[in-house]
A and B are shown apart, each in its own frame.
Chain A
Amino acid sequence: MAYPTGFKYTKDHEWIDLSGERGKVGITDYAQQQLGDVVYVELPDVGAKLKQGQSFGTIESVKAVSELYSPVTGEVVEVNTALKDKPEAVNSDPHGSWMIVVKLTNPGETGSLLDASQYADLTK
Chain B
Amino acid sequence: MEQATAAPLKKTPLNARHRASGARMVPFGGWDMPVEYSGIVDEHLAVRTRAGLFDVSHMGEIEIAGKDALTAVQRISSNDASRLQPGQAQYSGLMTPQGTFVDDLLVYRLAAQHFLLVVNAGTIDKDYEYIVREIAPAGDAVAVNASSRYALLAVQGPEAQAVVQSLTAVDLGAIKYYWFAHGEVASVRATISRTGYTGEDGFEIFVPPQSADRVWQAILEAGRAVDLVPCGLGARDTLRLEAGMRLYGSDIDETTTALEADLGWIVGWKKDDFLGAAVLRAQKTAGVERRIVGFEMIDRGIARHGYDAFVDGRKAGVVTSGTQTPFLKKAIGMAYLPVEHTAPGTAFDVDIRGRRTRARVVPMPFYKRPRA
CB of A107 within 8 A of chain B? no
Interface residue tally for chain A (C-beta within 8 Å): 12
Segment 46-88 of A: residues with Cβ below 8 Å from B: 58, 60-63, 65, 84
Q: A-B pairs with CB below 8 Å: how many?
A: 39
Residues in chain A near residue B104, CB distance under 8 A: none
Among the listed stretches A21-29, A33-41, A95-103, which one makes contact with chain B, having 4 or more residues with CB under 8 Å of it?
Answer: A33-41
Could you tell me if A36 and B302 are in contact, using CB atoms closer than 8 angstroms? no
Could you tell me if A62 and B40 are in contact, using CB atoms closer than 8 angstroms? yes
Q: From DSSP, what is the main secondary structure of chain A's interface residues?
A: strand
Q: From DSSP, what is the main secondary structure of chain B's interface residues?
A: mixed
Would A62 and B304 be within 8 Å (CB), given that A36-B39, A36-B40, A37-B41 are in contact? no
B324's contact among A40, A42, A58, A84, by CB below 8 Å, is which? A40
A84 to B301, CA, bound (A): 11
- Nearest chain-A residue to B42 (Cβ)? A37
* A64 → chain B closest CB, angstroms: 9
CB of B209 within 8 A of chain A? no
CB of B238 within 8 A of chain A? yes
Could you tell me if B40 and A58 are in contact, using CB atoms closer than 8 angstroms? no
Interface residue tally for chain B (C-beta within 8 Å): 19
A62's contact among B300, B301, B323, by CB below 8 Å, is which? B323
A60 to B41, CA, bound (A): 13
Could you tell me if A62 and B35 are in contact, using CB atoms closer than 8 angstroms? no
CB of B234 within 8 A of chain A? yes
A63 to B32, CA, bound (A): 17
CB of B133 within 8 A of chain A? no
A62 to B302, CA, bound (A): 9
B residues with CB within 8 A of A = 24, 35-36, 39-42, 234, 237-238, 300-302, 304, 323-324, 326, 331, 353
Q: List 18 A-B contacts (CB under 8 A).
A: A36-B39, A36-B40, A37-B39, A37-B41, A37-B42, A39-B41, A40-B300, A40-B301, A40-B302, A40-B331, A60-B324, A61-B40, A62-B234, A62-B238, A62-B326, A65-B302, A65-B353, A84-B300
Using A39-B41, A40-B331 as known contacts, list a sample of 11 further A-B pairs with CB atoms less than 8 Å apart, ordered by residue number in A. Answer: A36-B24, A36-B36, A36-B40, A37-B39, A42-B301, A62-B324, A63-B40, A63-B234, A63-B237, A65-B353, A84-B300
